[in-house]
Structure 1
Amino acid sequence: MIFLFRIGFLEVSWVDIIDIALVSVLLYQVYKLIRGSIAVNIFLGILALYLVYLIVRAAQMELLATILGQFMGVGVLAMIILFQPEIRKFLLVIGRGTEFRENLFKSIAQWRNSYHEDVNVNEIMEAVKTLKATRTGALIVFSRDVELKFYVETGDVLDATVSKRLLLSIFNKNSPLHDGAVIIYKGKIKAARCVLPVSENDHLPPHFGLRHRSAIGMSENTATLVMVVSEETGRVILARNGIYLRGLKLKQIEQKIVEYLQNTEPANWEEISEEEPTTTEN
């Protein structure tokens, strides 16, 4: 075995470098699957609990250490149960060899440079004006970093350029594509009639229907920005990371979409440069 260099008593070889590189790519793929979802919070909670366990054991607090130790003893099983959706997605990606290789090479190629094609926000806002005026229900998902193939495949693939006329045609009440979500990625309408996960948050307003709950559920599970136009009132809400904003003006809606697409969102996502809308958190 050929050694490259030595760090103290450790001898680093080519095999070690390759091993570290492969593990890094694997961890990055796992991160992409759970990024923006509640799985990240669960993982941080488990990590915090483990750190508490180490502190308690070091302090020789026998009773508390024994109780926490029981949780640590079934840690692997608990991780499998808690992260079942993410593990399932990861295994599906591996099973689809072509998709896995595509994501792998894209990750390596885009490790240093990320490119996001601009979405025609003016066309979207013109469509939103008409949807509001006619009280036509709509559900639009904006994805900046991920193609969301899992959700695209639940609907009808379009891969069409974003335009006002196309959006109005899709959400027309007589259209076979209106029942579901439109997913927009890199300036394209990737698919329509997509099925989104429904939020299980019990604290949402009772008047929120399936469309609103799907928007919030999608924002909880992915790093996307989701917009809903209410069929009953014509009002628009935006959802991000399980938090939603309502009572927004058209200019504020446009501002939020542009900030998301350009990755210039404020640390406090609810912050609006103009007058503040009504906000509600998870």
Structure 2
Amino acid sequence: MILLFDIGFLDVSWVDIIDISLVSILMYQVYKLMRGSVALTIFLGFLSLYLIYLVVGAAGMELVTTILNQFMEVGVIAAIILFQQEIRKFLLLIGKTTDLNREYLFKGFLGIRNGTSKKGFQVNPIVEAVKAMGGSNTGALIVLSKDSELKFYVESGDAINAKVSKRLLLAIFNKFSPLHDGAVIIHQGVIKAARCILPVTERDDLPANLGLRHRAAIGMSEVTGAMVIIVSEETGEMSVVIERELFKNLSSQELRKKINDYLFENQVEKKEKKKKNKAEKTITELIADSDN
């Protein structure tokens, strides 16, 4: 093994540097996952206890080491029980950041194309429906997913599989409708299901005035890459959660922009790049004409 440098009695190699870096990245990701929740305090307690176990073991304190060793033997099982929600979120996060769970990846290998195109996704019905519900103080929770159908959460509600329309959304979230309680999940312009149950965030750093809808929206954003739209029943305020970040008190224009940025991000970037190239080409032609 090639040594990088010596620190006292320690021999440090490139493998050790890579090992420490990977562990540091893993610890940081675990911290981000549990930040703002009670689980972080429990995790720090476990970590402190493990460090004490290493210290007393290195110091040769046999009695304390034996006691802590007995605790550490069942510590893994205890950690799985205590951190079952966080472990589930971590696995979901790993699955979300890889392409192995995406249906279009396998369809691409088989040469199959999805029949539903994002270009046919009309944003107007959603914006108009949310605006109308905000004006009448009708509470609503709408999940937009551009990659996954979110089958796990779709199955928790009532299947609809209908094209998005303003009237349909207003009918679903009508206070007298049996489907109004819960969330609507929309994927590629189709309302997959209504009355869906979403995971509620366990963060304790959120303002006390945030209701269950906002907490469910943040919880959904924590475990999926979906965008969630919230309409407050108390104030009629329109809000959006994207990548765990809450944007409150949006206007209809701001809501439309958020939806377009989320759904058509690549297309918007291509259009802006095309406009920029066209402008640069025009400037170049004008300079060439002036030189002639």
- TM-score normalised per structure 2: 0.58
2:133 corresponds to: 131
1:241 corresponds to: 243
**Runs (5+) with no aligned partner, structure 2:** 1-26, 34-53, 60-68, 92-100, 269-292
* Alpha-carbon shift at residue 84 of structure 1 (Å): 4.1
Partner-residue secondary structure (3-state), 2:201: coil
Change (3 A) 1:145 1:172: same
Q: Is the CA contact (8 Å cut-off) linking 1:259 and 1:265 kept in structure 2?
A: no
1:117 corresponds to: 117
Matched letter for residue 30 of structure 2: I
Change (3 A) 1:136 1:145: same
Matched letter for residue 128 of structure 1: V
* Alpha-carbon shift at residue 247 of structure 1 (Å): 2.2
Equivalent-residue separation in structure 1 for 2:159 and 2:174 (angstroms): 18
Equivalent-residue separation in structure 1 for 2:261 and 2:227 (angstroms): 10
1:254 to 250, 253, 256: 256
Matched letter for residue 217 of structure 2: A
Q: How many percent of aligned residue pairs carry the same amino acid? A: 51
Equivalent-residue separation in structure 2 for 1:218 and 1:135 (angstroms): 23
Count of residue pairs the alignment pairs up: 204
Equivalent-residue separation in structure 2 for 1:110 and 1:64 (angstroms): 56
Deviations 1:128-160 (A, max 9, x none): 121111111000000111111110011000010
Equivalent-residue separation in structure 2 for 1:43 and 1:164 (angstroms): 41
Matched letter for residue 108 of structure 1: F
RMSD: 4.3
Superposition map of 1:211-250 within 5 A: 211-250=213-252
Q: Is the CA contact (8 Å cut-off) linking 1:220 and 1:240 kept in structure 2?
A: no
**Runs (5+) with no aligned partner, structure 1:** 1-38, 46-61, 92-102, 267-282
Matched letter for residue 223 of structure 1: G
Matched letter for residue 107 of structure 1: L
Deviations 1:155-205 (A, max 9, x none): 000010000000000000000000000000011000000000111111212
1:155 corresponds to: 157
Pair member with larger Rg: 2
Q: Is the CA contact (8 Å cut-off) linking 1:158 and 1:191 kept in structure 2?
A: yes
Change (3 A) 1:76 1:44: farther
Q: Is the CA contact (8 Å cut-off) linking 2:102 and 2:147 kept in structure 1?
A: no
Change (3 A) 1:84 1:117: farther
2:205 to 203, 210, 234: 203
Equivalent-residue separation in structure 1 for 2:103 and 2:172 (angstroms): 34
Matched letter for residue 141 of structure 1: V
Equivalent-residue separation in structure 1 for 2:140 and 2:253 (angstroms): 18
Matched letter for residue 225 of structure 1: M
2:175 to 173, 176, 179: 173
1:186 corresponds to: 188
Change (3 A) 1:124 1:105: closer
Moved more, 155-164 or 205-214: 205-214
1:108 corresponds to: 106
Higher helix proportion: 2
* Alpha-carbon shift at residue 252 of structure 1 (Å): 1.1
